Amino acid sequence: EDLMMSLYNDNVPATWAKLAWPSMKSLSSWNKNLSDRFFQLEEWMNSPSDIPKVTWLSGLVNPTSFLTAICQVTAQKNQWELDKLVTFTRVTKLMSAEEIDSNSRDGAFIIGLNLQGASWDVVGSQIEKSK
């Protein structure tokens, strides 16, 4: 009965929510999010030794592990000391993953970052106060 009411009200059933990532989304949005996460992992599973051309960072359960792995791969590829690497973020003017035509030379292209209490000025390439 609880499952039926959750589905009817477009809520994530409690039995599903306790096995998934924390989310406040409605069931329909949550299901789309689950599908997108599954697609990303399935794509990566087809060639696990290759870093994806673009990674949806907020679609990963533990994005910190992904960023650590990027550092490790970059250090090994360039024979650098891992403990001396610094994470650097460069915001591009590209607006969709489809605009990326090749993998990053050193690192990874990511999507899915969000700002709270601010917005990104695409023209000026800077953070601005939220409107």
CB 88 within 8 A of CB 36: no
pLDDT value of position 50? 78
**95 is written with which tokens?**
């607006």
**Rounded to two decimals, what is the model's pTM?**
0.75
CB 94 within 8 A of CB 111: no
Going through the chain in order, the beta strands assigned E by DSSP cover 54-56, 109-111, 118-121, 126-129
Position 15 pLDDT exceeds 90: yes
Cα 93 to Cα 91: distance, rounded to the nearest angstrom: 7
**Averaged over 15-33, what is the pLDDT?**
90
CB 111 within 8 A of CB 55: yes
**Averaged over 94-101, what is the pLDDT?**
85
Burial of 55 per CB tally in 10 Å (0-12, 13-18, 19+): buried
